[in-house]
Amino acid sequence: MRTLLPVLVLMLSACGGGGGGGSGSAAPPILPPPVDADPSGLWVGSLAFDDQTFADLVGIVTADGRFTLVSVDTFGPDTAGQYVGMATVSGTDLTGTGSAYAAAGATWGNGATVIDFSFTAVIVERNSLTGTWQSGDGASGSFDMQYDTEYEKDSTLTLLEGVWFVYDDILNPTLTLTMDAGGAFTAQSSFGCQSLGQASIIDANFNVYAWDVTITTCPIQGDYSGFAVLGDIDTGDPNNSQNNAILVTFSNDQRALLLALER
């Protein structure tokens, strides 16, 4: 399968002294409260595990702190571990808690497929995100991500309109998704799954969409929610190289799924 690759802190100081021949000093300046960094963005980097292994990492964070991190070597439903939850910001400190979902068919170290997950990080707004993480099976590690300017593309549902496909390793379509101009979509997979869902705008200034879907008639049936990011991949066709791929990550309390859709 082809892959989809996709704060400033202002410190003020001042001092004052007594006038000539007098005694005493000026009152200390009143500094403004610190400004919390905006955590939103599309972030790309690497995840380090405590056993010294590494994985590629893609992060989606919204302005209100919702996040999804995807740990993956090759985008696809069988290779992705996902970390989903909520984060809060205090100044440049970012703290998040949520759930870690093992890749399809795999489990974490304690044998579970979904475990607790938390992280602490330092954010440089629109630049970098670095920190450490811990999971409910006792594992821990670190991560280092850089801001991706693909986040700054405007979002509009008409860009998503059309027919999209997920391909296997030999480019046979395994899922067909059709979306209308209002973001409503239906999908059918070669495994018998049927989907009915809705994409919607979170902030029209940025390239992250909300994604809600109900899957039926297969073992992974259920209601899911998550995010989608529109991107570009080189297909060799200069007339079809922009806005021709969507990375979709969505989850419920049982599992997390990942789709790499192409036109």
CA separation for the pair 63, 75 (Å, rounded): 25
The predicted pLDDT at position 181 comes to 97
Q: Which distant-in-sequence residues (6+ apart) come within 8 Å of 113 by Cβ?
A: 101, 102, 106, 107, 254, 255
Domain range list for the chain: 41-151, 152-262
pLDDT score for 222: 97
Q: What are phi and psi of 157, to 5 degrees?
A: -65, -25
Report how far Cα 238 is from the mean position of its chain's Cα atoms.
28
> What digits encode the pLDDT tens for the residues 130-149?
999 999 999 999 999 999 99
Q: What integer pLDDT is reported at residue 215 of this predicted model?
A: 98
pLDDT at 28 over 90: no
Three-class DSSP labels, 170-190: CCCEEEEEEECCCCEEEEEEC
Q: CA separation (Å) from 76 to 10, 54, 66, 166?
A: 41, 18, 22, 9
Q: Are 143 and 133 in contact (CB under 8 A)?
A: yes
φ, ψ of residue 224 in degrees (nearest 5): -135, 155
Fold of 41-151: Lipocalin (2.40.128)
In the numeric block, which tokens belong to residue 30?
């009143």
The reported pLDDT for the residue numbered 72 is 76
**If you write DSSP's letter for every residue of the chain in order, what string do you get?**
-----------------PPTT----PPPP-PPPPPPP---EEEEEEEEETTS-EEEEEEEE-TTSEEEEEE-SSSSTTT-EEEEEEEEEETTEEEEEEEEEPPTT---TTS-SEEEEEEEEEEETTTEEEEEEEETTS-EEEEEEEEEGGGGS---GGGT-EEEEEE-TTS-EEEEEEE-TTSEEEEEETTS-EEEEEEEES-TTSS-EEEEEEEESSTT-EEEEEEEEEE----S-TTS-SS-EEEEEEE-SS-EEEEEEE-
How high is the pLDDT of residue 76?
52
Residue-wise pLDDT tens digits, 95-138 = 999 999 998 888 998 999 999 999 999 999 999 999 999 999 99
- CA 152 to chain centroid, in Å, comes to 14
Residue 258's pLDDT is what? 93
Pick from 263, 259, 209, 197: nearest CA to 70 = 259
